[in-house]
Structure 1
């Protein structure tokens, strides 16, 4: 299965949305990656508020190096995009910070 890209989800609590915006803006400036909607409550499998960054495969190694410090204390859940949503969220994953339980029931 080929990985076509990556999503990196910055997790935050409602009072951290400003901090999450600053981290997302820094990632966008560094990588030119699209920044999604800032969800202040759980959406999909994500247990907390989150925002999605979309990365090309050739960007991910540099993003990973950046995320170890650039995430500024936020948890980042990153996963590959293979076309299999369940595998993407369970097998092709990398956590920066403390891992959190996902709601996998949405994948049926």
Structure 2
């Protein structure tokens, strides 16, 4: 399923966020350097670099966790530094389905997600 908001730039309206940076075998080295810069320059929590699909993500990805306090500095920096990498940015509200649909934004091109693993919100 493709997300509903493919053209929307991320908006700082939640307390917590994830950024999922997508990559492939040709960009593993580049994403590793990018993640090291994120940890060093912003002190953000960077997850494992998954060289396989994980969760709803059908492409290789790495997750960065951050808060609304980091958002205004981190998102423009990430957008500039990502090059041609696609990034899903979403709020973390406790409702995984809405987080990956209603509260989802893209830097780059939207990617397909497997939303069937989440219970749809009522």
Aligned length: 107
Q: Which moved more, 1:23-32 or 1:73-82?
A: 23-32
Secondary structure of 1:99's match? coil
Structure 1 residue 47 and structure 2 residue 58: aligned? yes
Partner residue in 1 for 2:10 = none
CA offsets, 1:57-97, max 9 Å, x none?
A: 11112111112211122111111011100000001111111
For structure 1, which runs of at least 5 residues remain unmatched after alignment? none
Higher helix proportion: 1
TM-score (norm 2): 0.81
Higher relative contact order (CA 8 A, sep 6+): 2
Cα distance, 1:3 vs structure 2: 2.7
Structure 1 residue 74 and structure 2 residue 105: aligned? no
Structure 1 residue 95 and structure 2 residue 106: aligned? yes
Partner residue in 2 for 1:29 = 40
Check the 8 A contact 1:7/1:53 in 2, yes or no: yes
Cα distance, 1:4 vs structure 2: 3.0
For structure 2, which runs of at least 5 residues remain unmatched after alignment? 1-12
TM-score (norm 1): 0.91
The CA RMSD measured in Å over matched residues stands at: 1.4
Secondary structure of 2:44's match? coil
Check the 8 A contact 1:14/1:41 in 2, yes or no: no
Please identify runs of 4+ aligned residues in structure 1 that moved more than 4 A. none
Secondary structure of 1:83's match? coil
